[in-house]
Structure formats: C-alpha cells, structure tokens
Structure 1
C-alpha cells in the first residue's frame, strides 16, 4: 500500500474552530483550502460600493472575514503571520470542486446532523476516492453522519475532534465510524502525534467521546458539590487550580472563558443521550445555572458570568464574583485554607494529593468528596468510552490542561485510599478494580526500564503504553540514569554517549547550583561522553537568572561577589559554545533572560514550537549580563552584508533587547535572530523534543565535531553607532516614550553593542564585549531605580516602570 502523505487539506467551515484548524495546518507547512458558505444578502458596505451577489469579494466575504478575525485574535492561532499565505480561501459553491486535489477533507460546520449530512453529500460528488474525510464534531455520533455514503467514503471517514484553540490544546480525539479502515485510524493516530504535535487518543463513538464526557462530568459534579457544601466560587477556584496541577483559570473562570452556553450544550447532550449513565442526574442543570442562562450571563463573551469585570468611579478595574445563594455580584472574597498551607513546601504536585485528602478543614472535605466522585465515575466508563484507562488520563491532560489524569491522581493518593474515599461517599467500587488488586497490581501505572506501563483490564497485567519509543520521559529515566545531581540540576546518561542536564530549581531559574551543575556536566561529557543536551520537561525551560540572589548582593553592595557571579554566568555560557563536545539546548515555554542566553550559546537549538524566547532584562533595570548583549552584537556583525546599512542591522538587534521582545512562537525567534535558519530546528510535539535533541547531538558527534576557536573578529561600529543610539534614546525620552531610567539602561546597552566609543569600526574579541557587558550590568545594579525594579519583580512577579 502506497505511503499516505498530507500535502494539502480542505477545511469546510471557517468559524472560530475551522479557522483555528486551518491555521494549525498552515503552522506545520501544509497547504490549506478554507471554504465556507456564500452570503445570501449584501451588507451595507457592499451596497455602498455597488457590488452584487455575483462578485467574488462578496461570495468569499464570510470566509475572508472569519480568517482575518482569527489571525488578529490573541493568543494567535498561527506561529508566524507569514504562514497565513499557506491558506487559500473560497466558497462552497464556486470552489467545492477543488477538494478533488486535497489529501484530507475536514468538516467543521455547525453542530447539526442534517446540515452535516448535506455537506457530505455535496463533498462526495467531488472527492477523489481514497481521500481522508473527517468531522470535527464534538458530540454527534459518527455512525449517523456517514449513513447513505459510498463504501469508499465510509472506509475513509471518521471523527477527528480538535479542542479549541487548535494550536494550543493538545488533545486530538479520533472516533471511528462503523466501517472506518484500521489503516486510516493508525495513520491519523501517528499523524496527530508526529506532525500536528498532539496527544492522539482513539475514542469510542459515545456521546461527548472521552475528554468532554469526563471533563463536563467533573465540572457538573463540582457545581452540585459547591451548593451542597455552601462554598463560594473563589474557594472552589482556589482549590481546583495550580495547587492540584490544573490551569490558573481553575473551574469557574474556565467556564467563563469557554462560555456557559457551550458547557450547557454538551451537558444536555450527555443527559439526553446517556440513559444508562449511573450519574446522569448530575448532568441536570442546577437552578443557578438555569437562571444564568436565562439572564445571558454566559461569561467573557457577554461581559459577565461567574465573574464580572467593572470599573469604579475612578476608572479602576475591579473583578466582582457571583454569590451562588443570592445570584448578586459582590466584591471578591479571598479564599484561605489551612490544608493548602501544608502543601506550600511540596513542589511536586503528585506528592500533594495524599496531604490534601487528609485535610481536617473544609478543603480536605472538598477534596475527599470530589475525588471520590471522580474516581467512581471514571472506573465505570471502562469499557463504555474506552478499553484502556490511560486514554482517559491522556484526554484530560491534553484537552483540559490537567497535569495528572484521574487514574494518576488515584495512584497518587493510593488505590486503597481512593476506594476508602468512594465507600465513605456511598459509591461502589468497579469489579475490575477489585480484580486488579487481587491480581497483585497495586497501582494503575508502573514504570519499568524508562517506559510507563498501565493495568490492562482484559489481560489483568501491566502493559506498556504504545508509542513511547519516540519519547524520552525524564521522570521515568531519572532514577536509573542519573550520573550527577545537586539542588539545581540532575544530569542523566541518555545512552549513545549523550548526557542531559535537567534544571530542577524553582521555576528552573538559573543560580549558582544550576551553573555549577552545568559546568560539571560539561566536564563529564568532555571526559567520557560524546555530546550534551540541556533540556527539561518543566512547564517552562527557564524564567532566567535568580534575581533574588542578584538583588541581595546589590543591596549589600557586595560588588566583588556580584562581579564574580556575573562572570561565572558568562563563562558558563561561553563553555556551552566552546566545549570539546557538541551542545544542544532544547527550549520550550518561557525561555527568558538567562534561559535565552543559554539558548544563544548552544551549538544547535532544538526548540519546541511553543517557545516564548526573549532577553527581558530591561524589565528589571539591567541589560543581559550572561553574554546576551555580546551575542546580539556578534550576530549583528555576522549579518552585515556588503552594501548593507550596517547601522540599521545593529539597531534591529539593539531593539530586540531594548524593547524586551519575546517571540510568541519558536518561528518568530528566527525573525529576531535568536534562532538561526539552517542551524536551529523546531519540533511541534514537545514530547519528542529531548529525543530529537539527543539525536542532533549524536549526529554532530558522529560527523566529527571539532572544538570551535574563540572569536576575535566581531565588527563593532564604535562612535558612529553610539552617536545614533544616544540621539535615539534622547528623543524617545523627550517624547515621553521611555523614562529617564529606561534611557540610562538603553545608553549602557548602546555602549556595549557599539563596542564602546572607538573612533572607527574595529574588529574585537568576544571577551572584549563580555567585559563591557559585565561592567555595564554591575553599574546598573548600583542604581536605586534598578533595585526598585528588582524588588518589585521579586514581590509582585511583574515589571515596574519607574
């Protein structure tokens, strides 16, 4: 059978979801044909221009307006605005025949079976046999949609449910129809993981599939628990957010963002279509939800939901909360629980669960009750919605942003404890859980030889989760492969002669322990290994240097120690560049300040597509001091081309630092010259990142890596550039674009990037620039306003403009 390749897709329907899916295919380099219906009447603007319903601009109005809205939305659905050129728009009357040339047709029209069936009937007239055709439905049974279609259509048809927003949420549910070929399911499963960067989960054709069935149950169950326990929405959001590894928006704020009407639509669908669900009464809407629906308090889209943003007489914004008893809005009440205080020192979320369920206050009672109901519900969904328990966990992590799925939480509290919680709530234990205990399995998951195994119910054995061979999961390999650790890093032997340095500090910030651990790893790699990866699987790669340490030294005026600390940081980054072994840095998420400087100094970078990289030191009153300022001057010098206006090139690199630009994707980091075309690569699936970085390091070693020679040929422009920069900062301050202190920082940066006040363009060494950079950095830490900025960032977590 010929290998299936996806070069072009057609997306039918350009609403928020359709446009988002089209943008994500454009993100990964696929050509997209985006089609929607033709308007039935002219709008005022078209009438004023004398246009008719036959004009192309009118006929494509709906699709073009929808795509334009999507491309302007934040967070952006597209990695780089340039990628929008990969999307061609059209309409379902003039352009439907073009679907004959695509490899995959994805239907994303309104959730009505009659309309979907009509669309499929029209598409089949033009579809080439063998072309994949799928529906992004979130709940309509797949078996109904393909009724009456040809055999070839039905073999290549299934559900492919993306979660919104398609770029950011990782869940990709694949739902087979009655006649879907296994080859089609296998292809989509792999394509979702490898190319779309998703967690692919093959689900059964049951109402709401896996993610929404469990996710909506979890929310509806909380709605009832809240009323039963007399809790406030602030209390629930405090208990169901980051403390248990869930998004900051927790429960009620998430519903506001998604829209209460969306939640109610899915809940009603489950209530109507799951007559045998033992908890179907939970999907019935509580009175307060019915009232909110009647009042159109649907959340962000209507300006009020569980929370309401208002302005007081002075124009200050205030967030009000809904009182679920009176249904009036009131001032926010801060929620505090003794049980949560006990978890403050526990960094690993999984280790918090046993503590939380033992809580002696209302929080403990809440966790015992809500986890009991969650465990009871998920155990009974097997084999109804899936045969394998890990798919439920995968769906909740990838679709709802939970750090741990229900069975992982149950493992964390202990299987016996989970059973005890259920019994206390009068809930029965499923027979397969009892059988699991009897078979000798003490947990739903085990880790063996770096791979995760799950309890397989039919065989009553621990079975390896498929598809892990392309991944390296650091949590799984750390215990058996660790060759060095201190309080800041863990160094693992990944095999094939490659070491990995994993930051383990708070928020992966870079302090003395991280730097000494990195140096130790380079020593070890140079002596006994072939290459080094710097990568971790935390939420973010690194938020930068440990500014608390810098602040303390600066306040105590310990300038010799501070100078030594900054030099140590510079020297470590330079070792990454000039060691005897290839170094590969694998950034993801926030890669700021010092994290960005490490990225800049690697031999190669393997960046996750969702990497937000930038030199943001201006926000705390300093310039990049770990080699970042030097490196941007060097990169500007390397891009000077004969006939270039060199000052303009240097100015662009200066503004990258001066405006604290942070890329909104790894692809945007190419535009700021933080990533280099032809050298650095981007991976869409973060789960594959460490394995890819290891392969790149090994390839460089196998090809015969030679230790680079330190640079002394960096062209700096001296007074010519310095003059331009100083005039610019002067006029910006005069126009009130920047403060006096901003100007001081910018002038220091200008001095470094110009190479000082040399009388003419001169070639200098990297060390010369590093010394200028360090001197400027230290002088700024002696400024009162810099100390104010540092202190504000430490206390409030956001920059101060002073």
Structure 2
C-alpha cells in the first residue's frame, strides 16, 4: 500500500522518499555477493523490493515507468533525518497502535514545525494515535485514507484529528481532489470511517441473506454486478481479489468497536466464512476462495465455484432470472432499480430485502459517520466502484417506495426521513440550474452540493442546454460560446448517427459558437467504429456503400481538423480505433489520466481507415530531421499500429506518438475534464484561432521504406511470429505509410494518403480471414489470430 501511494504521488510529479524498516540480516543472494548489513542495498532492501514488486504488478500503479525515478527508497534508521526536509509525511505501517505510536515518536524527533503528518489507517481512532504528541504535531495531523489500489480507486477519506487546524483540512481536501484526482470525502473519526463502514455492512448483510434466500455464489454475483452498476467482480469475486482475511479483519473490528450499532449482529461472521478462514481459502492470494481455477480432464482451465451448502467446489451453473430480462432494454443502472424491486421472482425478492437493509442502515449513519448524505454516496461510488450511492438508489426507487420495502422487513424509518416527507419533500436530490442539490437534515431543505463549480456534469445540463440531438449524439451548450458533442451510442461506437452528429456539431459551432468540445461522461470515450455495420456491408459485398461510409468518416475527421473553430477532444477510458483517430484529428487533446488509447484495427483484420494510418505517416514526416535515419522514425509509428499498441495511461500515449508534447494535456481528475476542455477551447478562440492550411507537404519515403517493411514482415512470418494474414495486413499498412511504390522520397498531400488508406481498408474487408476476425470480435469481444 505504501508503494502504491508513493507511485501515485510520483504520477502527479511529486518527489517521494519511501522509507521502510531495516532487514534483520542480508538475504542469501546478498551474502553470496559479499554484501553485509552495512551496505545501502541491504539496508534499503525492504523498501526497494516493495517498490519493485509494485512497479511490476498489473494493473500498474504508475502512469509511466519513467515516473518511478521520482521515488527514492531508504530506511527508517539511516534516512529518518531526511524527514526534516519534506512537506508531507504519510504513515502507512501495519494496523497496530503500538507500532504506529513508535513511528510517530521517531517522526516527531526530526520533522520541522508545520509539516503535515497523515496516517493511512483504516480504523484506529485518532485520539489514540495522537497521544503524547506535541501541539504542533496534533495541529497538522489527520487521517488520509486511500483505497487500494491508490491509482485506480478514487476515494480519499480525510479524517481530521480533534486538534487539526481547519486550513490543514481544507488543503488536504483540495489537494486530494485537484491534484491527486480523487473524490475527497470528509469523514468523522468513527470505526472504518464511511466507505468501509457501509461497504462491509453491505457485504455482511448479503452473506447472511444468501443462505436465507437459497442463492448460490454465482447467482449473487450475477445480481450484484453490472446490472446494478457495480464492478464485474460483483461481490464474491471482489472478496477473492481483496482477500477474505482483509474483509474479516475489518468486519471483526466493526463487531468489537460498534456495540451500539443496530446491525451489530450482522458483523458477526457466518459459519461458512469461519470454515473458509480455517481452511485458508482466502481468495486469489491462496489460489482459492469463493472461486477456484483448475485444469479439467481436457487440460483446459476451468473456474469452479464454492457450494455454500456442501463447502465443496463444483462447476458453475448458468443463472437466469426473469426480472433481469426486463432490464435488458434499460441502458442506465439508475433507471433499472424500480423494475428490479418490482419483479415476482427470487431476484426481485433479493433486491427488495437487500435494498431495504441498505436504506435502513444508511439512514441511521447520519449524523454518526457523516452530517451530509451526499458524502455517503460519494464514498461508495469512489471507494467501491458503485455507479450510484445508497441514497441515489433510494431516490431512484422513490423515497416512499423505499420506506415500504423497509416496513415489509420490519425495519424502522428514522425521524429525519419521516420529517422530510411530512414537509412535502420527496427526494434526497434535485437538480437546479445545472447543479445538484441535496437534502440537508439540519436545514430541512435542499442545499447546493459544494465543489461543483470546477465540474461540468452533463446529466445535469443535458435537458436544459440541449441544442440538437439524434439517436447517437446530443449536442449541448456548455456556455461561454462553447458547444459539446456527446456520444450516446452503445459503447459510444462511431456509426452513421454519430458521424452525422459530429458534422452537425461542427456546422452549429462554426455558425453560432466559438469552439467545440467532443466529450462524454460514459465509462469509455469510444471503442471505435461500428463493427457490426462494417461486417454486414462486407458480408453482403456492398463495397460501394462501405467505401462511401469510410470516405464519410475520413471527410469528417478532416473537417474537424480544418474547421474554422477550435475542436478539443476529451478522451477517457477506452479510446480505441476510430475513437483514437478522432482524437488524433482534434486541435488539442485534453485527456483523463486513465485513458487507454490506441489504433487496434489489426485485431479485426484491417488497418486504421479513418485517417489514423495517414496521420501516423504525417507525424513521422513532421519529426524527420536532417541526417536522421528517417526509416527508423517511420518504423516506430508503423509499429504503434502494427502491434495494436494501447497506452495504459494518457501519459504513455505521448510515448506512442498519439498525444503530442507541448500541445496535448492530461487531467488527473476526470470530473474536471470537460471543464478543462471547455477552458482550452475558450483560450484558443480568444487567442484568434485561425483555420489551419491543408497539408500537401507530407514526406513519404516510397520504395526505400516499403522494401524495409516487406523484408521485416517476411522475417516475422518465417519466424512464426505472425500469421500469413497478419503479414498481409502489415504489408497493406506498409504500402500506405510508405506513400505507395514511389521510386524516391516525395511530398504528397493528406488526401493522397487517405485514398491509399481507404483502398487498403476496403481490400482487406474482402478477405475471408478479416471477416472471421470481425465476427469473432463481435461474438466474444476478443481478437482472433488466424
């Protein structure tokens, strides 16, 4: 955890000193090298090994491996004096009060006055950790609870100590949100704070319900996964990943430290959990938990599931519930909840019991763990990956309906909820003038949720600010003369409606506005072109229509690039194929740090056909320098496409040549992304944006490059690194990026390269093996090597 936090601070450009304890003696490897306890490599081994292990883990804790140079390792004996030079000390030692107090004692000897000290504890009361510390220490001490892994989970709970200064709290909240890219949630010093208190209750409640309702592990995971806006790992798979022992540790802590909790008995572990703990079936770390991966008789891997009645592993069974079928046409989880609690099968019964218990519990946690209900929702969304928090779910079902569910389970309604309804207020949240308002218990009225001024929330402005829409796109006025084009197709694929919407957005922006942002707040920016449409055209041999569709996509990309207004792309999440090509043609990319962007068309048997192949040839041409080995430069861009490279963060996209230094920018907090994109569009417009001149001077290398590429693909095929069809695709790409079979290096236009690219794309769509690849991707979501 300490290494993960260190990596995330390095991610945002901070210099980090990572200290750990001294080893007791040199390891066998160190002894073999003649190293003694006096050697720095031995003395710093624990911190160094932990960091190395973290950097090798997947998913990576760091945006770019180069950023690891910002972290220096050391030990708590030799380097503790360096604490006098730092601005912020974060303690991440084991959850034992005596060890924490010993570390704080040492810190106090060396820290300078005014240095921030925070603990990553998940539950030890601050008054115990603070004991015996100086006034200045206590004034600058708080808990900053990161969720693991720190890079990916957004929750950052800030828990001030009793003597902590307000400006320290304000700094931590602002820094967490603005710089660390987190959802900073102010919590009280109560057991497990907010996230784990509610999250562990939810899991424990479900543990007790599973036997009562006769549900299986796989059924529960089906019911508590993406269908209700939770991660794919749902409940039991998540416990396997986190570790059953971790969950048990927190649950036991709550059982011991919350004797007056009305759900106290729920934190007591059911028998099947006790058996799993005895057997050390802790999940992924021990090779088995609720799930177990084995080799079957055919030698193929199979995932078995634990039968909670027999406590033996068995093959997974298919799960099917009529109530879930009713939600298949409902895109957003928030709109499904009413349907889910209204069914007549076991699934609906599960949801009614589960949500009733959750609503009853969270209503009673105010003001115990938080004075404001929105903090509970924020914590669950950011820490547990819920798309909607408990009060948002209750709101969607209806406050009165939620009470009905609770009463059916003999659960009492708290006074503040009853009072709210008596006053005629029947919702926890409302939206006014593009801002979210929450019900404040003390004020007995809706109050504007703080911190929204830095955000643009499309859900809040879509209806009031809509300028134009079709089935694939909504165009919104962001204010200050800037439009936004929001994709709304499935997975934000780029089909005919989206392309029409993009062209309409450019029309509108050029006529009545000053700039255009292309951004959305779905899980992913865009997974690329509408493959199903391409497959149908190709299988029906409608090549004229397919040619027209590709030409239209290319023309739209070029229209974006050469429009009279600045166009900003705001990619995040998966930005693949056509989504990447769109970003390549924007005036500026304002990317979320968690952007996984790349040209992946090789995986479906084609080359980038929406200007991506052309653009990579153009970018290579732009960095050719006198006396350069130009072939080497072009080869790097060729390999980016040919190996279907996808960045693991926006920062890696710079290394791939997809994002450009000095032009494109990264936003660590995705919630701020659209506001930042709008800001850059406004700045470019105010600076006197001029329509670019179309390029007719792209240097291509002709036969010289084509020959090198063909020899390379031939060698790869001979060495069995690629298939015959892989070679065919690579040779088509080589022809495009070389500028064709030209006898010498020449200057060509973008249009010339686009024609080559489109011709290559179309010819590959006539290949049976390409159609097999597209079909396999549509069926399985995975690439086929044939």
Fold shared, TM-score > 0.5 on shorter chain: yes
Q: 2:449 aligns with which of 453, 459, 465?
A: 465
Q: 1:47 aligns with which of 18, 31, 40?
A: 31
Cα deviations across residues 422-450 of structure 1 (Å, max 9, x unaligned)? 00000000100001111221100000011
Q: 2:173 aligns with which of 179, 189, 201?
A: 189
Cα deviations across residues 628-683 of structure 1 (Å, max 9, x unaligned)? 00000000000111111100110110000000000000000000110000000000
TM-score (norm 1): 0.98
Specify the alignment match of 1:521 in structure 2.
505
Indicate yes or no: 2:63 matched with 1:79: yes
Task: For 2:182 and 2:33, locate their aligned partners in 1 and report how far apart those are by CA, in whole Å.
Answer: 45
Specify the alignment match of 2:99 in structure 1.
115
Indicate yes or no: 2:194 matched with 1:210: yes
Distance apart, 1:315 and its partner CA: 2.3
Distance apart, 1:595 and its partner CA: 0.1
Matches within 5 A, 1:590-629: 590-629=574-613
Distance apart, 1:268 and its partner CA: 0.2
Matches within 5 A, 1:335-350: 335-350=319-334
Indicate yes or no: 2:282 matched with 1:298: yes
Task: For 2:23 and 2:85, locate their aligned partners in 1 and report how far apart those are by CA, in whole Å.
Answer: 25
Indicate yes or no: 2:674 matched with 1:680: no
Task: For 1:711 and 1:56, locate their aligned partners in 2 and report how far apart those are by CA, in whole Å.
Answer: 56
Specify the alignment match of 2:626 in structure 1.
642
Task: For 1:645 and 1:310, locate their aligned partners in 2 and report how far apart those are by CA, in whole Å.
Answer: 51
Indicate yes or no: 2:105 matched with 1:105: no
Task: For 1:150 and 1:643, locate their aligned partners in 2 and report how far apart those are by CA, in whole Å.
Answer: 64
Specify the alignment match of 1:588 in structure 2.
572
Q: 1:381 aligns with which of 341, 362, 365?
A: 365
Specify the alignment match of 1:4 in structure 2.
none
Specify the alignment match of 2:151 in structure 1.
167
Q: 1:260 aligns with which of 244, 248, 254?
A: 244
Matches within 5 A, 1:534-545: 534-545=518-529
Task: For 2:686 and 2:33, locate their aligned partners in 1 and report how far apart those are by CA, in whole Å.
Answer: 65
Task: For 2:33 and 2:528, locate their aligned partners in 1 and report how far apart those are by CA, in whole Å.
Answer: 54
RMSD over aligned Cα atoms: 0.5
Task: For 2:662 and 2:318, locate their aligned partners in 1 and report how far apart those are by CA, in whole Å.
Answer: 51
* Unaligned segments of structure 2, at least 5 residues: none
Specify the alignment match of 1:530 in structure 2.
514
Q: Secondary structure at the match of 1:329?
A: strand
Indicate yes or no: 2:335 matched with 1:351: yes
Q: 2:418 aligns with which of 434, 441, 458?
A: 434
Specify the alignment match of 2:258 in structure 1.
274
* Unaligned segments of structure 1, at least 5 residues: 1-16
Q: Secondary structure at the match of 2:17?
A: strand
Distance apart, 1:79 and its partner CA: 0.3
Task: For 2:54 and 2:689, locate their aligned partners in 1 and report how far apart those are by CA, in whole Å.
Answer: 45
Q: Secondary structure at the match of 1:38?
A: coil
Matches within 5 A, 1:127-526: 127-526=111-510
Distance apart, 1:349 and its partner CA: 1.1
Distance apart, 1:314 and its partner CA: 3.2
Specify the alignment match of 2:75 in structure 1.
91
Specify the alignment match of 1:10 in structure 2.
none
Task: For 1:178 and 1:189, locate their aligned partners in 2 and report how far apart those are by CA, in whole Å.
Answer: 17
Specify the alignment match of 1:662 in structure 2.
646
Indicate yes or no: 2:762 matched with 1:773: no
Task: For 2:104 and 2:180, locate their aligned partners in 1 and report how far apart those are by CA, in whole Å.
Answer: 24
Indicate yes or no: 2:762 matched with 1:782: no
Task: For 1:118 and 1:625, locate their aligned partners in 2 and report how far apart those are by CA, in whole Å.
Answer: 62
Q: Secondary structure at the match of 1:230?
A: coil
Q: Secondary structure at the match of 1:100?
A: helix
Task: For 2:212 and 2:222, locate their aligned partners in 1 and report how far apart those are by CA, in whole Å.
Answer: 18
Task: For 1:81 and 1:795, locate their aligned partners in 2 and report how far apart those are by CA, in whole Å.
Answer: 35
Indicate yes or no: 2:19 matched with 1:28: no
Distance apart, 1:143 and its partner CA: 1.6
Task: For 1:663 and 1:602, locate their aligned partners in 2 and report how far apart those are by CA, in whole Å.
Answer: 18
Task: For 2:459 and 2:472, locate their aligned partners in 1 and report how far apart those are by CA, in whole Å.
Answer: 16
Specify the alignment match of 1:746 in structure 2.
730
Q: Secondary structure at the match of 2:22?
A: coil
Task: For 2:666 and 2:11, locate their aligned partners in 1 and report how far apart those are by CA, in whole Å.
Answer: 11
Matches within 5 A, 1:561-580: 561-580=545-564
Cα deviations across residues 680-710 of structure 1 (Å, max 9, x unaligned)? 0000000000000000000000000000010
Q: Secondary structure at the match of 1:715?
A: strand
Distance apart, 1:42 and its partner CA: 2.1
Distance apart, 1:334 and its partner CA: 1.2
Specify the alignment match of 2:695 in structure 1.
711
Cα deviations across residues 310-353 of structure 1 (Å, max 9, x unaligned)? 01233210000000000000001111101000000000111100
TM-score (norm 2): 1.00
Q: Secondary structure at the match of 1:436?
A: helix
